[in-house]
Amino acid sequence: MKRIAILGSTGSIGRQTLEVIANHPVDFAVEVLTARSNYKLLIEQAARFLPATVVITDHSHLEKVKTALSGLPITVGGGQEALEQAVTGDRVDMVLAAMVGFAGLIPVIQAIKAGKQIALANKETLVVAGELVTRLASENKVDLLPVDSEHSAIFQCLMGEQHAEVDKIYITASGGPFRNLDIKALEKVTFHDALKHPTWNMGAKITIDSASLMNKGLEVIEARWLFNLRHEQIDVIVHPQSIVHSLVQFCDGSLKAQLGLPDMRLPILYAMSYPQRLNGLFPKFNFTDYPCLTFEAPDPVRFPNLAIALEAMRIGGNMPCIMNAANEIAVEAFLSDRLGFYGMTKIIEKTLQKATFLPVAGLSEYIESDREARSIASSFV
């Protein structure tokens, strides 16, 4: 039995991870549950799955969680320090990092240093500090197992293949809810419109990133570090049906693709059970339900955030860190109706121009870059 610590258990990925664990009680056990502020759902999850440890990082809710779980054999902690201690405990076999944004970076680093296997759903960890995180994983002999459906697909396609034979990878994108809208229409869309994703059930921040195609930019940067690729080896292709999750092209021209229904429980289960495959107790793909699979190039004019992310990756250093911080502030402002759709792009561009660029950075520099970029982006909002 593999004992799992779930960082961000109340979010979309966290909830689906618990569903997978509930369907495989012999294979997995919940050791740690953490959440930022959704204390009510965290209490419900803890009462059902009885983890050894629960952490609420927002201290204002700590006493409520302690009181609600006082009759159960669960240790309750609050704050960042408690979170970092929980993921390094001796009883934890794997950390599933489902926290959204920069907040996931330090807990993942601490878990890697403690030798825990990582199932990575927090793409920002590699966007912000890919060189540092992958080096630490190598030094500590820790696997970084991708949970994003696209990266899981690439990981599966590369099984049994030689890295030197990879010519290019194609990361697929659904195109989001605005795939067919022109610029004038996009200028008028609201966050309510953006949250209506056509194929995936995701949290608000990721859904907005999907609508702007920033999510694909973040995934390209993540793939660059996960699979040790050059930036020119990674491309994005729009695939509205979300059945082909990604493709790998080899030097002889052959392509391998991984297909499946747009259901995050599939890559979650694969990452947690790797190197085994367990029986998935959910619907399976049927070709007759999808008689036509289509592909098209993304439009950089209507969706400039993708190009911004690709350029940040090409420049390197702390530029992706700056971009990620500015994007998090911009998305938050869009969700609170303080920015328009293209207003997010303007905030990111202005922040990239003003923030301090560092060609080489360590953890302390990434933390400072994140702080500075958030401050600059907030001033523009």
Angle at CA 272, nearest 5°, toward 167 and 195?
Answer: 75
Residue 287 has pLDDT above 80, yes or no: yes
Long-range contacts of 197-203 (CB under 8 A, 24+ apart): 198/174, 198/240, 199/174, 199/240, 199/241, 199/242, 199/262, 200/174, 200/242, 200/262, 200/264, 201/12, 201/264, 202/12, 202/264, 203/11, 203/12, 203/13, 203/100
- With beta carbons less than 8 A apart as the criterion, state whether 80 and 108 touch: no
> Is the pLDDT assigned to residue 94 strictly greater than 80?
yes
For residue 100, is pLDDT > 90?
no
* Average confidence score pLDDT of the chain: 95
**What pTM was computed for the model?**
0.94
Q: Report residue 199's pLDDT band, with 50, 70 and 90 as the boundaries.
A: confident
Tokens representing 178 are 């605005």
- Give residue 196's pLDDT: 85
Per-residue pLDDT at 112 exceeds 90: yes
d(CA 82, CA 75): 10
- Reported as a single tens digit per residue, the pLDDT across 223-247 is 999 999 999 999 999 999 999 999 9
Domains of the chain: 2-146 (3.40.50.720), 151-263+282-308 (no CATH), 316-381 (1.10.1740.10)
Percent of the residues in the chain that have a pLDDT greater than 90, as a whole number: 93
* pLDDT tens for each residue of 27-62: 999 999 999 999 999 999 999 999 999 999 999 999
Q: What is the pLDDT of residue 302?
A: 96
Residue 144: pLDDT over 80: yes
Q: Residue 288: which residues within 8 A CB-CB, separation 6 or more?
A: none
Residue 219 in tokens: 């995934």
Specify the pLDDT at position 39: 97
CA distance 157 to 173: 17
